[in-house]
Amino acid sequence: MKASTTLFRFRTLFLTIIMCIGFWAPWIELCGIGSRITLLEWLALEISRLGLLRFTLATPAVIVCGALIAAMGAAFRIWGSAWLGHSVVLHSQMQSRSLMADGPYRYVRNPLYLGVVCMIAALSLLMPATGALFVLIAVPVFLYCLILGEEQFLVTQIGEPYRIYLRTVPRLFPRLRTTLTPTGNKPQWLQAALSEINPIGIFVTIAFLSWTYDNRLMIRAIIVTFGLSLIVRALMPTIKQPAIKQDSASPQ
pLDDT digits (tens, 9 = 90+) for 176-211: 888 888 877 889 999 999 999 999 999 999 999 999
- Band the pLDDT of 214: cuts 50, 70, 90: very high
Q: What is the dihedral of CA 48, 50, 53, 58, to 10 degrees?
A: -40
- Tens-digit pLDDT profile for residues 15-70: 999 999 999 999 999 998 989 999 999 999 999 999 999 999 999 999 999 999 99
- Tens-digit pLDDT profile for residues 123-182: 999 999 999 999 999 999 999 999 999 999 888 888 888 898 999 999 999 998 888 888
CA distance 119 to 12: 14
- pLDDT higher than 50, residue 240: no
Write the CATH number of the domain with boundaries 2-235: 1.20.120
Q: Which residues have C-beta within 8 Å of that of residue 135, sequence separation ≥ 6?
A: 18, 19, 21, 22, 120, 123, 124, 127
Which of 118, 125, 221, 226 lies closest to 110 in space, CA to CA? 118
CA distance 114 to 112: 5
- pLDDT higher than 80, residue 75: yes
- pLDDT higher than 50, residue 243: no
Model confidence pTM above 0.95: no
Q: Which residues have C-beta within 8 Å of that of residue 123, sequence separation ≥ 6?
A: 19, 135, 202, 206, 222
**SS3 state at 244:** strand
Kindly tell me the sign of the dihedral angle through the C-alpha atoms of 145, 113, 163, 2. Answer: positive
